Chains A and B, each alone.
Chain A
Amino acid sequence: METRILHKDHLVPLLRRLSRNYRLVAPVRNEYGDTLYSVIHDLDSARIDLDQQPQGSLKPFFFPQSEVLCQYALDRNHDGGQTRYAFYPQLPENRPTLYFGVRSCDMMAVMYMDLIFFQSRGQDIYYARHRENAVFITIGCNHPFPNCFCNATRTGPFLEHGYDLQLTDIGEQYFVETGRARGRKIVEAWSWFFSTAGERERRAQFQAALEARGLFSSLVHVDLAIKLLEEGDEPTAVFTELSRRCQDCGGCAFICPTCTCFNIHDQPRTDDSGERVRTWDACTFRGFTRMCGDHNPVDVETQRVRKRFLHKLLHDVRHHGRTSCMGCGRCVGMCFGGVDMIRFITMMCQYEAAQETGE
């Protein structure tokens, strides 16, 4: 792996050069004080914020909250009153996009979405169009945020693979690691922005990564939770309690970088035409599994949050060999009912401990 140094003063000029070839997306602090991954149209006026965790993930860029899949049209008068019914796909444009300042958890989440949308099952051409031509410059988290637990899910605070370039803040400079070919091309094409890393910088990067691992404020027993679930120790009482507290808002799933459930519905535009639209959905919604005739195979009173936690901590481990919780902690800040990943794992481990001591 090649390592380089990028002086902080050179960052904006580098991004300016790169924005000639790429649409630029980075964490930007907006006028309301929120930091969100946003498309940057004007680098001089945008306030790139690498100090805060972006409030949302990169999910909407690859899997938009609402996306037209196709248009449909009816021709009722064709061939003596018989109805023709035709579909016209509407594919998104695939602009080369540079995602800058991406946190480890969010990069890992994109790789998880790849599994869902085009590696294990039929290729999703809509996702593929968003995903093609994407370049990622990630940034290691020197100071994990209060709700973060990516150390427990092994998705951070620094990446070992998956990035094109990974930056580490080592004071006046960024330590730059090159990952995939597109990252190497950037370093080669704009080589005058980068200098060779020496032993001192390498040590500073190692030190920063080491210190970051000791700075997590939450101790979350993800491995224990997985083990208990794999052993078949389902905490029914915890699911019942959490289902009661879930307010059905879907915030956890919408903020989650790896929740990819969706609905597809038709949106009529005229009597004879309309759009087929895909929108985000959430397995915690009461009607998620409801079939016609109001039959629901899932008992919503006790089990609607069960799927969410089992999917992330048990089913994905079974199918993909790892959890689909990236430890970003966004659901912790989002849920006003306290139905989040940290709460679930903590309650489950406490429940287990109580069972063992016979309390």
Chain B
Amino acid sequence: MKQTNSTPHRKNRERARQFAQMSDNIYLPCQARVDEIIRENDQVLTFVCSFEDVLCNKDFSYVPGQFMMVSMPHLGEAPISFSSSPTEGTGFRLTVRRAGRLTSAMHELKPGDQIGVRGPCGTPFPVRELEGSNLLFVGGGIGMAPLRSVVQYALANRERYGDITVLYGARTPADLCFRKEIGLWRRQGVTCLLSVDHGDENWTEHVGLVTELLDQVQVSPASDRALVCGPGIMMRFVLQKLVTLGLEPGSIWTTLERHMKCGVGICGHCHFEDRLVCWDGPVFSMAQLPDLENL
């Protein structure tokens, strides 16, 4: 099995430096303010946030694929991926589906309210390594949130990347997120194919599984890199299909979801074989995933 820790000490120092920007205490959240709340659909909101501390805002940097540990009063913390790109100005966006107690409480927030945040945590998508390649995004449901971060990043650095294709599936048209942005992406030359399990009378695009959209695009193993995120079962089938279309496992990237407490590779909750998803991931190349059963 391929090992990821090629230069662990340099990586650790860099990560420690990132944290040191915010605090010398890796468990101490900073105060962030919710500046704006965007309703994506009934279950999903996007929180546009910035730090209360002006210096934090100035020093803060992240890379698509990383995440924040978000604190809500009395409810502890949960890991939430950035849905924004650092190229979109100061602060950051978190796109959150109402799923448990903490995320439900987030849905009660109003603009101006504060949340606690720690981070950025995790290993990002290899945006530098992807330069020069065509990017094929395959998202399912709320899994589109971390992929949006990379799409925005690639559009902001358009000359560095080849063709951009977004395949996005959800259960119903009402479950799709980022509808407005998908329109903007299309106008900027991004191929966007949408799919839902169950359409309605206004739905004119594909009905079925997101894997079926892969039949509608030309995949070129030499120049394409795939970025996949969605429910475990969807990811398993998409990854398998991408391999049958000829993509190397090392050219396919995905981001995993796990229960996390510390976010910095100590507490042990997010183990995935000998890796810790919060530290070695959440972004993994398919070549690093030992099997696809427990995504």
Q: Let me know if B266 and A124 touch, CB within 8 A.
A: yes
Q: Let me know if A264 and B27 touch, CB within 8 A.
A: yes
* B294 at interface by CB-CB < 8 Å: yes
Whole-angstrom CA separation of A79 from B26 in the bound complex? 29
Query: Number of A residues contacting the other chain (C-beta, 8 Å)?
Result: 52
Q: Let me know if B73 and A116 touch, CB within 8 A.
A: no
Q: Let me know if A291 and B112 touch, CB within 8 A.
A: no
Cβ contacts under 8 Å, B186 to chain A? none
Q: Let me know if B110 and A82 touch, CB within 8 A.
A: yes
Q: Let me know if A125 and B294 touch, CB within 8 A.
A: no
Cβ contacts under 8 Å, A198 to chain B? none
Q: Let me know if A297 and B232 touch, CB within 8 A.
A: yes
Q: Which of A87, A91, A266 contacts B74 (CB 8 A)?
A: A266
* B116 at interface by CB-CB < 8 Å: yes
* B173 at interface by CB-CB < 8 Å: no
**Interface residue ranges of A206-235 to B (CB < 8 Å):** none
Whole-angstrom CA separation of A146 from B92 in the bound complex? 58
Q: Let me know if A74 and B73 touch, CB within 8 A.
A: yes
Q: Let me know if B279 and A121 touch, CB within 8 A.
A: yes
Q: Let me know if A283 and B266 touch, CB within 8 A.
A: no
Whole-angstrom CA separation of A298 from B256 in the bound complex? 14
> Chain A interface mostly helix, strand, loop or mixed?
mixed
Q: Let me know if A123 and B295 touch, CB within 8 A.
A: no
**Interface residue ranges of A272-324 to B (CB < 8 Å):** 274, 276, 278, 281, 283, 288-293, 297-299, 307, 310-311, 314-315, 318-319
Per-residue CB proximity of A255-282 to B under 8 Å, as 1/0?
A: 0000011111110100000101010010
A74-B73, A260-B266, A276-B76 as given contacts; A86 in contact with B31, CB under 8 Å: yes
Determine the residue in chain B with the shortest Cβ distance to A265.
Answer: B76
Q: Let me know if B261 and A264 touch, CB within 8 A.
A: yes
Q: Let me know if A311 and B271 touch, CB within 8 A.
A: yes
A120-B8, A289-B269 as given contacts; A297 in contact with B295, CB under 8 Å: yes
Determine the residue in chain A with the shortest Cβ distance to B34.
Answer: A82
Cβ contacts under 8 Å, B266 to chain A? 116-117, 121-122, 124, 260, 262
**Interface residue ranges of B60-80 to A (CB < 8 Å):** 71, 73-78
Cβ contacts under 8 Å, B272 to chain A? 297
Q: Let me know if A126 and B27 touch, CB within 8 A.
A: yes
A122-B264, A289-B259 as given contacts; A85 in contact with B100, CB under 8 Å: no
CB distance from A213 to the nearest CB of B (A): 32
Whole-angstrom CA separation of A91 from B272 in the bound complex? 31
